[in-house]
Amino acid sequence: MRQLIKNRMSMLLLLLVTVMVAKAQPEKVLAAYDFMENNLDSAKVNIDQAILHPESAEDAQAWQVRGFIYKAIYNQTEKGNRQSLVRIEALNSLRKSITLDKDKVFLSDNISAMKYLINTMHIDAAESLDPMDYEVAIELFRK
């Protein structure tokens, strides 16, 4: 009898933890958004966890927030890096947001952010047009 009670309590606890984790994932999008102003590292961790969750993985707003966080990280830490993977990740996230945004609620903001990022790529590519960095320029123009 005690074993049966222990098994049921364990199953109930497991179910409770599962529900809490499932509910917490969409909240991670909000947490990431809140952290965006003051703590980009925490924002990045939260949004990267959120987009792995099925409820957030197909959410246009989650991908937009991710794109904006990665754009902010690019501006803060990688602006001098002509081959920044963070910039590419920001663009990919914004593209995914546009794809998922059936009602076009986030379209204007996404396009504005993408134009900015693409413009930085073109500037970096143009500045790389010399005999030493021409391969970087070619790669940036192709993206």
Q: What is the pLDDT of residues 86-134, one digit of tens each?
A: 999 999 999 999 999 999 999 999 999 999 999 999 898 888 777 676 6
Tell me which of 27 and 73 has the higher pLDDT: 73
Q: Flag whether pLDDT at 4 surpasses 90.
A: no
pTM score, whole prediction: 0.75
Per-residue confidence (pLDDT) for residue 101, from 0 to 100: 96
Place 37 in a pLDDT band, splitting at 50, 70 and 90.
confident
Per-residue confidence (pLDDT) for residue 27, from 0 to 100: 81
Percent of the chain with pLDDT over 90: 52
Per-residue confidence (pLDDT) for residue 22, from 0 to 100: 41
- Taking only the tens place, the pLDDT of each residue in 7-18 is 454 444 443 333
Q: Mutual orientation of helices 107-127 and 134-142 as an angle, nearest 10°?
A: 160
Q: Flag whether pLDDT at 19 surpasses 60.
A: no
Per-residue confidence (pLDDT) for residue 143, from 0 to 100: 67
Q: State the Cα–Cα distance between residues 40 and 59, nearest whole angstrom.
A: 21
Separation in Å, CA 51 to CA 18, 25, 35, 54: 17, 8, 16, 7
